[in-house]
A and B are shown apart, each in its own frame.
Chain A
Amino acid sequence: MRILAVCGMGLGSSLMLRMGVEKVLKAEGIEGTVEVSDVSSAKGEKADIIVAAPEIAEQLEGHSAKVVAIKNMADKNEIKEKIMEYIS
């Protein structure tokens, strides 16, 4: 499982998202790596799931990865519910 956490510059909210996703994966016992990227590089990268803020997720529509929009990055439940939909 390769998850990409994406934001405009790849050094702010993507880092926060990476941490939130890592916590969820650990809690659920799921093997996976979470990497960060900026939105333009992310377009050329392969991943199973991309997590990003809604405005960024919109810019990644059509990506081969499942794109998941997270509104509140500090809300573990939101992250969990949205990514678990694609992991089973």
Chain B
Amino acid sequence: MLLDLLPEERIATKVKAENWREVGRKVGEILLRDNLVEDRYIDAMIKSLEDNGPYIVMAKGVAIFHARPEDGVKKTGMSLITLDAPVEFGHESNDPVKVAFAFGSINNEQHVEAMSQLMTVLMEDESIDKIYAKDTSSEVFDYISQIISNN
């Protein structure tokens, strides 16, 4: 479930980042801090965007960073940052990014349910702008919990 993988401690608000690489680094560092991934996983997340283009900006204003289980995942988990100022990723229609997620999964199954709940959150009207407008991680966490319990 999404909130088991994304506890309040792995949410940070008003994070300063100059460019998309820094966004990836900062959201990935939360996974590293909690010992969910190895440092090389963050490099792999960034490289994935270099290789495949900015399609990780999956919806308006939101980027979802990840790499493969074999790129250094120790335990399945997710992190979320809201940005101090929006950052351009070079996406043709979903820029600029205001909110970024990162996840690592130890296999192709463990995060599936959480991703489905995350999709519910993204499909909620204006949810990204509302998350972006929150001041604290507990407000973001409570808002996401609320969407999930309403669906």
Residues of chain A in range 1-42 having any CB-CB distance to chain B below 8 Å? 7-13, 15-16, 19-20, 23
Number of contacting residues on B, CB 8 A? 29
Classify the secondary structure of B's interface with A. mixed
Residue in contact with A12 in the complex, picked from B53, B66, B92, B93, CB distance below 8 Å: B66
Chain B residues with CB under 8 Å of chain A are 48, 51-56, 58-60, 62, 64, 66-68, 92-94, 103, 105, 108, 111-112, 115-116, 118-119, 122-123
A76 interface residue (CB < 8 Å to B): yes
Q: Are A72 and B94 in contact (CB under 8 A)?
A: yes
Chain B residues near A45: list those with CB within 8 A: none
Distance A56 CA – B56 CA, assembled complex (angstroms): 11
Distance A73 CA – B128 CA, assembled complex (angstroms): 13
Which chain B residue lies CB-closest to A39?
B52
Given known A-B contacts A11-B108, A16-B119, A74 and B59 have beta carbons under 8 A apart: yes
Q: Are A55 and B119 in contact (CB under 8 A)?
A: no
Q: Are B55 and A11 in contact (CB under 8 A)?
A: no
Chain A residues near B56: list those with CB within 8 A: 12-13
